[in-house]
Amino acid sequence: MTPEGRPTAEDARRWVTEDFGVRVASVDEVPGGTDTSAAVWRVVDTSGTAWAAKWTTRPSRTGTRLVTSMADAGVAGTPAVLATTDGRRRSRRAGGKLALTRWSDGTDAATVGLGLEAWVTYGALLADVHAHAFPLPPRRQGARRGIRRRRRRFRAEIRTLDDAAVAGTDPVLDLWRGSRPRIDLLLRGTVLEPAAPAEPVPVPCHGDPHLGNVLIEPDGSLRLVDWDEAVVGPREIDLHMVEFSVLFEPTTAAQLEAFREGYGPVDVDEHRMVRYACVRALEDLTSTMTAALASTGAERDEVLRVFTGILAPTGSASLVEGRLLRALAETAA
């Protein structure tokens, strides 16, 4: 383990061998990603088969169960899961959980982009996830049933940051003070009532299906990865990620039309979409500002780049604000 408590490649080699019975030839850590509570390695076994080993301290039982269920059902675009030697979906190591899935040599769609035909495929892939017969996980199994992704609620983060802004002198807090009117607007969006009174039918959702988690395989097919945010709930949990991109590259009208062609006709609640987008933006804003205050140097600069990007014209906060104002006006009327 590193001094920060993160597993090393040697830890991964030993765990994969002992827990999954894989004879390991090589292990390489996969760099990048913003999740500090997780680590990913590319593991190649002695037969030449490549695996993705992911260790995380986040509650991800729903995601592991969902991926296994879809792989067993033959749903395209989902990774094959290797069970542990005693038949479990994951092993427990160093306060976290370790899962092993087949490695993909694909390139993430956020890097290379998707053509319009691929956007149709993307819509069809997400529709297949939502149509999969998957039982609602009981709460005692750690199921996440809403948009909330962080262990600490964003309202508690806001209170802590407001207190720091009053008492603190860190110049980074000037960014927080300047963003507060927009934070307040987003907070109004988090209590929007659904436009339709009927309760939606819950469906299995990926929970974080932005293009960075969509891989383009060598044969041109698409694959969804990183299922840690999986949840059973309204389909808008996933669909708002398509409408309000979090990657600072807004979805165009043509891309949305292609996605909807692949996804198929469905009634979407606009207010629920907006509400989820507001929660997502607030979670990202509060977590990045908290991380910035706790970091220095290049690490702080990168976190602040993300914070300002969320508030920039192409950021997720800006993308939802116009539709939020319309939804609030409709509610008032």
Per-residue pLDDT of the chain (333 residues; tens, 9 = 90+): 777 778 999 999 999 999 999 999 999 998 865 566 789 999 999 999 999 999 988 766 788 888 888 988 888 888 888 999 999 988 999 999 999 998 988 899 999 999 999 999 999 999 999 999 987 766 544 444 455 555 568 899 999 999 999 988 889 999 999 999 999 999 999 999 888 877 888 899 999 999 999 999 988 999 998 888 888 889 999 999 999 998 889 999 999 999 999 999 999 999 999 999 999 999 999 999 999 999 999 999 999 999 999 999 999 999 999 999 999 999 988
Q: Count CB neighbours of 175 within 10 A.
A: 16
**One-letter identity of residue 191:** V
pLDDT at 105 (0 to 100):
86
pLDDT at 35 (0 to 100):
60
In DSSP notation, 269-298 reads -HHHHHHHHHHHHHHHHHHHHHHHHT--HH
- Do 86 and 136 have their domain in common? no
- Do 167 and 283 have their domain in common? yes
- Do 86 and 119 have their domain in common? no
Which of 40, 70, 103 is the endpoint of a domain?
103
- Do 27 and 134 have their domain in common? no
Q: Which residue has the tokens 């290379």?
A: 112
- Do 229 and 304 have their domain in common? yes
Pairing type for strands 81-82 and 38-45 reads unpaired
Per the structure, how many domains does the chain have?
2
From the list 111, 112, 127, 121, the residue with the least C-alpha distance to 255 is 121
What's the CATH code of the domain at 143? 1.10.510.10
pLDDT at 325 (0 to 100):
97
pLDDT at 148 (0 to 100):
55
- Do 51 and 200 have their domain in common? no
From the list 10, 23, 143, 6, the residue with the least C-alpha distance to 82 is 23
Which of 38, 73, 103 is the endpoint of a domain?
103
* Residue ranges of E strands in the chain: 24-29, 38-45, 50-56, 81-82, 91-93, 96-102, 107-108, 203-205, 214-216, 222-224, 231-233
Question: What CA–CA distances, in Å, run from 284 to 75, 200, 280?
Answer: 31, 26, 6
From the list 265, 218, 251, 257, the residue with the least C-alpha distance to 320 is 251
- Do 164 and 286 have their domain in common? yes
- Do 79 and 204 have their domain in common? no
**One-letter identity of residue 86:** D
Q: Which domain holds residue 147?
A: 105-333
- Do 94 and 228 have their domain in common? no
- Do 88 and 112 have their domain in common? no
Report the distance separating Cα 12 and Cα 104, nearest Å.
18
Q: What is the CA radius of gyration of the chain?
A: 20
- Do 60 and 118 have their domain in common? no
What's the CATH code of the domain at 55? 3.30.200.20
**Beta partners for residue 123, in sequence order:** none
pLDDT at 163 (0 to 100):
95
Report the distance separating Cα 284 and Cα 316, nearest Å.
9
- DSSP classification of residue 184: H
- Do 142 and 95 have their domain in common? no
Which of 83, 103, 123 is the endpoint of a domain?
103
φ, ψ for residue 161 (rounded to 5)?
-70, -35
